[in-house]
Amino acid sequence: MFKPAETISELSTFANVAPGDVLLTGTPSGCALRLPPAPVRRIVQLLPERQFWSLFLKAQRRRPHYLRPGDAVSARIFSANGTLDLGEQTTVVLAPG
List, for residues 30-48, the tens digit of each pLDDT value. 555 666 788 888 888 888 9
Model-wide pTM > 0.75: no
**What is the DSSP annotation of the chain?**
---HHHHHHHHTTTS---TT------SPTTSS--PPPHHHHHHHTTS-HHHHHHHHHHHHHT-TTS--TT-EEEEEEE-TTSS-EEEEEEEEPPPP-
List, for residues 41-96, the tens digit of each pLDDT value. 888 888 898 998 888 788 777 776 667 889 999 999 888 898 999 999 999 988 87
